[in-house]
């Protein structure tokens, strides 16, 4: 798997999710089998580059390459400048966001709203490609199947973006109108793959190893991108990789391993965000880890009242110590359904996605 001149370890990708895929989370997913991870969405608004939020999103200290940064905006010149800014800070790949469906983003005609204005979308892509080319940095793009069921224009845009110099396309199998509701469809992704020569990545509703195999077969995609299914379950990448290679399932992880992974993740999280923000922003990650575990809901309620990082860290360790006394491995989880019922974090994701602007 290649993005321009850059070779990737495998074809299992972490989706960019604002408020989720910060550096500690990306590095954890890479450690557990992901071959590629894209940063949270970074705004193209220059006046916000000095903000604490953007500086954290642009922090790649110790992160293994390739460093991929997603940028979002509505002005071609500003997007080109944002690409240049992030390249100077270590970005080896620039990804353009035309996939975020959040209302606050789309109301500003950014994210997936750009698919409704094809000339502007192409103008932005060309400007970013032109800014990145002198540095040898490839440009990729993430989009949806279209604006609505009546306006599925991903195939046309894919051809235009390839002609403009984009070197990889990721397609989420929903329209902007769908948001995160309903089922992803893969026929449009297959049509995009058939229409272009550059690599195409399939995204949407890939929640378990069998679904990963089904989506690859249905679309002919070069890779798959996993987002919400990795929240609280970052080992999904090694599970999928093992299944694709052998046709067999890995045993669920040991409780002791999950304890270690989460506690290490929290230490890195606190180091990035500091005490005040760290204890608060860590709550969602802890909640995702424990939501399906025995006693998880009660623990999440009590943990959300803790205001100190060290106390939070110790409470998590104690929870998994108690769990480990009852079972050696996590319980086997049934594959999430494809009817949208498992998407309990859509509203939170929409809000966090819009927070980049």
**Which of the residues are catalytic?**
100
Q: Are 266 and 16 in contact (CB under 8 A)?
A: no
Q: What is the DSSP string of 15-64?
A: PP-TTT--HHHHHHHHHTT-SEEEEEEEE--GGGTTSHHHHHHT--TTPP
**Burial letters 95-126, b for 16+ CB under 10 A, else e:** bbbbbbbbebbbeeebbbbbbbeeebbbbbbb
Give CA separation, 61 vs 23, 28, 58, 86, 89, in Å: 8, 14, 9, 14, 10
Measured CA to CA, the distance from residue 162 to residue 302 in angstroms comes to 50
Measured CA to CA, the distance from residue 32 to residue 112 in angstroms comes to 30
Q: Are 159 and 189 in contact (CB under 8 A)?
A: no
Q: What is the DSSP string of 300-332?
A: HHHHTT---HHHHHHHHHHHHHHHHHH-SBPPP
- Tell me which DSSP letter residue 148 carries: B
**Burial letters 280-313, b for 16+ CB under 10 A, else e:** ebbebbbbbbbbebeebeebbeebeebeebeebb
* CB proximity list for 236: less than 8 A, separation 6 or greater: 208, 226, 229, 230
Half-sphere exposure in the Cβ direction for 342 (13 Å, CA)? 21
Strand partners, 172: 144, 203
SS3 at position 172:
strand
Residue that the structure tokens 């069998």 belong to: 210
């Amino acid at each position: 798997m290649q993005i321009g001149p850059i070779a990737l370890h495998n074809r299992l990708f972490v989706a960019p999710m604002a408020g989720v895929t910060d550096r500690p989370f990306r590095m954890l997913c890479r450690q557990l089998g992901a071959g590629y991870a894209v940063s949270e969405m970074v705004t193209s608004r220059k006046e916000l580059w000095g903000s604490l939020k953007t500086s954290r999103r642009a922090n790649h200290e110790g992160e293994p390459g390739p460093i991929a940064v997603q940028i979002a905006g509505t002005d071609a010149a500003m997007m080109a400048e944002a690409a240049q800014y992030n390249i100077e800070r270590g970005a080896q790949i620039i990804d353009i966001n035309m996939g975020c469906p959040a209302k606050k983003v789309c109301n500003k005609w950014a994210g997936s709203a750009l698919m409704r204005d094809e000339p502007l979308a192409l103008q932005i892509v060309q400007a970013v490609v032109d800014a990145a080319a002198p540095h040898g940095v490839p440009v990729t793009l993430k989009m949806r199947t279209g604006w609505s069921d009546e306006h599925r224009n991903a195939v046309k845009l894919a051809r235009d973006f390839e002609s403009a110099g984009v070197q990889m396309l990721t397609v989420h199998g929903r329209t902007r109108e769908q948001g995160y509701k309903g089922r992803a469809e893969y026929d449009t992704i297959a049509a995009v793959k058939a229409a272009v020569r550059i690599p195409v990545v399939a995204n949407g509703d890939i929640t378990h190893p069998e679904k990963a195999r089904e989506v690859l077969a249905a679309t002919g995609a070069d890779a798959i991108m996993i987002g919400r299914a990795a929240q609280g379950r970052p080992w999904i990448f090694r599970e999928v990789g093992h299944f694709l290679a052998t046709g067999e399932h890995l045993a669920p992880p040991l409780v002791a391993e999950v304890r270690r992974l989460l506690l290490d993740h929290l230490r890195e999280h606190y180091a990035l965000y500091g005490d005040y923000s760290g204890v608060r922003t860590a709550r969602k990650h802890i909640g995702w880890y424990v939501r399906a575990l025995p006693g998880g809901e009660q623990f999440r309620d009590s943990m959300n009242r803790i205001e100190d990082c060290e106390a939070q860290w110790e409470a998590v360790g104690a929870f998994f110590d108690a769990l480990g006394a009852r079972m050696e491995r996590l319980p086997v989880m049934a594959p999430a359904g494809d009817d949208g019922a498992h998407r309990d974090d859509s509203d939170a994701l929409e809000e966090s996605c819009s927070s980049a602007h």
